Amino acid sequence: MSKAPVQILVCSDEYAYHQRHQELDKLVETGEEIDREIPYWHVDAGCLAMVILPATVAEGLGARFAGAIDHAG
């Protein structure tokens, strides 16, 4: 992997997600951000990775997934 000419790193950003979901078109009728029990910023990043992997293979390139988990948090 260290010799690959291109590497794609999919990241999630909780702060950016909340900033976007505090804009007027994303607020509930009370003017507040929707309270979500699931950290969707991770879900969105996972969905992106699931699209990138088969698209890469479809182009005749190799692809793999490598993840990191923060067990301290």
pLDDT digits (tens, 9 = 90+) for 12-59: 888 998 888 888 888 888 888 888 788 888 889 999 999 999 999 999
9 CB-side CA count, 13 A? 4
CB 30 within 8 A of CB 60: no
Using CA atoms, how far residue 60 sits from 8, 11, 54, 57, in Å, is: 16, 24, 10, 5
**What's the pTM value of the predicted model, to 2 decimals?**
0.66
Q: What is the pLDDT of residue 25?
A: 85
Q: What confidence tier does 73 reach under pLDDT thresholds 50, 70, 90?
A: low
Say what percent of the chain tops pLDDT 70: 92
Q: Residue 12 CB: number of other CB atoms within 10 A?
A: 15
Helix locations, 1-73, DSSP H: 14-20, 40-58
pLDDT digits (tens, 9 = 90+) for 2-18: 788 888 888 888 899 88
Residue 66: pLDDT over 90: no
